[in-house]
A and B are shown apart, each in its own frame.
Chain A
Amino acid sequence: MYEHDVLIIGAGLAGLRAAVEAEKLGLNTAVLSKVHPVRSHSCAAQGGINAALTDRGDVWEDHAYDTVKGSDFLGDQDAIEVMAREAGDDLIELEHMGVIFSREKSGRLEARAFGGQRVPRTFFVGAITGSAMLHVLYEQAIKHDVRVYEEWFVTSLIIEEGVCHGAIAFNMHTGEMETIRAKSVIMAAGGAGRVFEPSTNALICTGDGLALAWNAGVSMMDMEMVQYHPTTLAGNGILLSEAARGEGAHLLNSEGDRFMERYAPEFMELASRDVVSRAEQTEINEGRSINGNVLLDLRHLGKTFIEERLGYLQEVAVEFRGIDLSEHPIEIRPGVHYIMGGIKTNVDGATVVPGLYAAGECANVSVHGGNRLGANSLLDTIVFGRRSATAAAEYIKSVDSAGRSEEHLDAEKARIQALLDRPKGIRWAAIRNELATSMTEGIGVYRDQASMEGADAKVDEMRAKYSQVSVENKGKVFNTDLIFTLELDYMIDVAKTITQGALMRKESRGAHSRTDMPDRDDKNWLKHTHVFKDGDGVRTETSDVTITQWQPVERVY
């Protein structure tokens, strides 16, 4: 048995930021991740991190309003205010830690334009901002000597009398299951993009943290809000950053028109992501596509500019498509990228379960509401990663012990062994692929009652089939076959919360765009959807959106 003050599950930006804060506060801190920290999917964030730096004339309220509008007025404004207000200090702290942000001639930080915002306030490192930040936070974790359970996999949270007391996990190198007792747990396990296929997300983004928290009794809030990123590659779904459009790239249809003129005459290609993705999908649906794609055109930016500021995009284009972006436009389409919904928390990352906190993509504070602005996700991880550690530190002052019982371990050992002992059955991969393809079909850029019901029924079908999945590899050492089987269990849970959230919301808002109910309905649906686990089924609720200073208005870009 291991014991800590705080156990952070996930070692991406939110997890590592929380860990560094917890160490600074003197807590006995541990981070646990199924991959080495620098492999976490935060590394794939490209474009930048938003902050209104007031010492150069920006105003945090403007950032907050752009975020509120981007969220289609579904974001909780108290949380958005916290994020926008604290962004500047957090950004400067990252710079002091060593992030090599791009500079102006004066040597000060340089910002680029990004979608849905009226002024440039996106700070960046070429097109590798997430990677550059993640590696620096890992440097800080080394500096602070943070304990990392590296390549460990969590099978369940320990909940005793309604309080979270740690987790049961196994060391992937040995297969040994252990109890990790902790006075508090911060869930920072990332998103669930693999519930859809194709997706920009890494193969590891299977919603483990969402499912763990859901099974512990926490609400999954606004899960229908799944972001389709406007510029992804067909087939494998690989992302091309919004930074391309931030730096001036155009979107063209098969007729060579900059079609965004018709959808967002003022912001053009830099409208909010949901708006641009819908515009692309409409062009594609109406036959102005090239093989089901539209074009992202960077040619006018020039080779040197592209390679210095968007180098990683050029690398992706050359490696995966054989295209030099300075010479040819590249075919792109909307693709699943991010889930705005997640574990319901307050502005301190606290969930309804005492001792359980959440931050980053798996959490829903909610600052992104119906649609996240580009470069607000990195900011979210940093601000709320830090705040959740602060809150956990305060909470554990009132906790004497995280308990000693090993009964959870015994139960989990038996459950995993039973999975390994199953007779030869179906492969996990078949179910995973069928589930994910159906989710993209049913919960698409555009959706309607029938498509969502179809996806929901498919999820139930896959849940039933899961009982026939067998694990081919019976070994203990780095058994990825077992890991994928357990991940699939999580994915089916997450998929169910998405389809249920989607079926609840009887309007179109943000990323939830129903062709059968195309209008936003502020009278009845200025509300969050909640999906709870209830025995083998689900229970749903709604709650009001927090509005502080900005009343909903028509959303025009």
Chain B
Amino acid sequence: MPATVPTKLKANLRVQRFDPESERPETFYQDYEVEVEDWFTVLDALIKIREEIDGTLSLRCACRASICGSCAMRVNGQAKLVCKTKLDSVWSPGETVIIDPPGNMPVITDLVADFKPFWDKIRQVQPYLQPTGPEPVAEYLAPNEDMVHLAGVMNCIMCGACVSDCTVLEVDDRFIGPAALAKAYRFVADPRDGKKKERLEALNGDTGIWDCTRCMQCVEVCPKDVAPMERIMVMRDQAIEEGFSGTVGARHTESVYNSVKRSGRLNETRLAIESVGVMNIPGQLAMAPVGVRALLKGKMPSPIDHKIPSKDAVKKIVEKSEETSK
């Protein structure tokens, strides 16, 4: 009887390459076919390429266990920690899996990105505990619930996946970004830190918490469930509570809230005017051309509220939520 020879599974990977030392440095894709086992992660496949097929392929990786944060890169267009991404979750036989370096960062070579801008932003949020008052002889007393809550943020391994796929950073690289803001939250929410108000004041400025567009990408791609966007939203609430209401973002939030409470729907004209600030004459003038164009095209919503029929029901919902959040 002829023996059946098990055929080895072969995966196709298309990997972005970049050699800054070549005569004409530009990125290109290189295809690799590599024998894989059914338990392989994407990292296992990349390591096999590096060790057995092409020693010139550069990438960062260390722990292989999703804790060092070295190996974030894009797999089929989405940022992932490749050591914890099973190959069969992103690839099936016959297909090609595409590997790119993380986005929103300069590329040094191949899959290796320059994290300097990333760390510069972490530094920007004064990322160290700043207690005020006398230091206790023993430990600070703190509720365990707070520590467990903070562990959700300390879970961050600074892999850069959130920064890679942040849609705001894609258009405005001044935005502090999801990783640094999550790091900031780690201090804002730490009962031992004495600079909560100062931190919120700083984050309330341009390029801070109000620049997030709530696209959810960072929450989606974070391999450690840190949920940066949710932390940013909490800091927005806290900034307003601390009295930092003089921002477009805070006024926008207030205007949406009042409009819905009043009429059950969003009054877009008033929202625009109130967000910029009613007394902000230069701001209003800057917005005027948009208004005029909208008016001419018949797209200017009426500044007068059109109440929806069930506005009383909406009002009740608002009142109920105000009660419960007290």
- The count of chain B contact residues (Cβ–Cβ below 8 Å) is 56
Contact (Cβ within 8 A) A100 B150: yes
Shortest beta-carbon distance from B39 to chain A in Å: 7
| A-B contacts, CB under 8 A, total | 161
List, in ascending order, chain A residues with CB within 8 A of B140's CB.
95-96
Contact (Cβ within 8 A) A35 B158: no
Contact (Cβ within 8 A) A204 B62: yes
Contact (Cβ within 8 A) B154 A478: no
Contact of B144 (CB < 8 Å), options: A105, A428, A479: A105
**Interface-side segment among B67-75, B268-276, B277-285, B294-302:** B67-75
Contact (Cβ within 8 A) B62 A472: no
Shortest beta-carbon distance from B198 to chain A in Å: 15
Contact (Cβ within 8 A) A41 B56: no
Contact (Cβ within 8 A) A477 B21: yes
Which residues 95-134 in A have Cβ within 8 Å of B in the complex? 95-98, 100-110, 125-126, 128, 131-132
Contact of B141 (CB < 8 Å), options: A108, A428, A473: A108
List, in ascending order, chain B residues with CB within 8 A of A43's CB.
63, 67-69, 157
Contact (Cβ within 8 A) B141 A107: yes
List, in ascending order, chain B residues with CB within 8 A of A108's CB.
138-139, 141
Contact (Cβ within 8 A) A38 B144: no
Shortest beta-carbon distance from A419 to chain B in Å: 13
Q: Does A422 contact B (CB under 8 A)?
A: no
Q: Does B309 contact A (CB under 8 A)?
A: no
Contact of A477 (CB < 8 Å), options: B20, B50, B67, B138: B20
List, in ascending order, chain A residues with CB within 8 A of B50's CB.
429, 480
**Interface-side segment among B3-11, B121-129, B236-244, B257-265:** B121-129
Q: Does B79 contact A (CB under 8 A)?
A: no
Contact (Cβ within 8 A) A481 B55: yes
Q: Which residue of B lies closest to A316 (CB)?
A: B65
Q: Does A25 contact B (CB under 8 A)?
A: no
User: Given A39-B62, A125-B151: A475 and B55 within 8 A (CB)?
Assistant: no
Contact (Cβ within 8 A) B144 A173: no
Q: Which residue of B lies closest to A135 (CB)?
A: B154
Contact (Cβ within 8 A) B62 A41: yes
CA distance A35 to B60 in the complex (A): 9
With a 10 A CB-CB cut-off, give which of B67, B110, B151 has the most chain A CB atoms: B67
Residues 96-118 of B, flagged 1 when their CB comes within 8 A of A and 0 if not, give 00000000000011101001000
Contact (Cβ within 8 A) A107 B143: yes
Contact (Cβ within 8 A) A140 B128: yes
Shortest beta-carbon distance from B195 to chain A in Å: 12
Shortest beta-carbon distance from B47 to chain A in Å: 8
Contact of B63 (CB < 8 Å), options: A98, A202, A315: A202
Q: Does A397 contact B (CB under 8 A)?
A: no
Residues 57-98 of B, flagged 1 when their CB comes within 8 A of A and 0 if not, give 011111111111110000000000000101000000000000
Q: Does B173 contact A (CB under 8 A)?
A: no
CA distance A316 to B260 in the complex (A): 45
Q: Which residue of A lies closest to B65 (CB)?
A: A238
List, in ascending order, chain A residues with CB within 8 A of B19's CB.
475, 477
CA distance A109 to B147 in the complex (A): 11
Q: Can you report 26 A-B residue pairs in the complex whose CB atoms are below 8 A from each other?
A: A38-B68, A39-B63, A39-B69, A39-B70, A41-B63, A43-B67, A95-B139, A96-B135, A98-B128, A98-B190, A103-B147, A104-B144, A105-B144, A107-B141, A107-B144, A108-B139, A125-B154, A131-B154, A132-B154, A203-B64, A312-B67, A320-B65, A471-B55, A472-B56, A475-B19, A478-B112
Apart from A125-B154, A480-B50, 19 more pairs, CB < 8 Å: A35-B70, A38-B158, A40-B68, A44-B67, A92-B138, A96-B131, A100-B147, A103-B144, A104-B144, A108-B139, A108-B141, A136-B129, A235-B39, A320-B84, A427-B51, A428-B55, A429-B51, A473-B56, A477-B108
> Residues of A with Cβ closer than 8 Å to B?
35-36, 38-41, 43-44, 55, 92, 95-98, 100-110, 125-126, 128, 131-132, 135-136, 139-140, 142-143, 173, 202-204, 235-236, 238-239, 308, 311-312, 315-316, 319-320, 427-429, 433, 471-473, 475-481
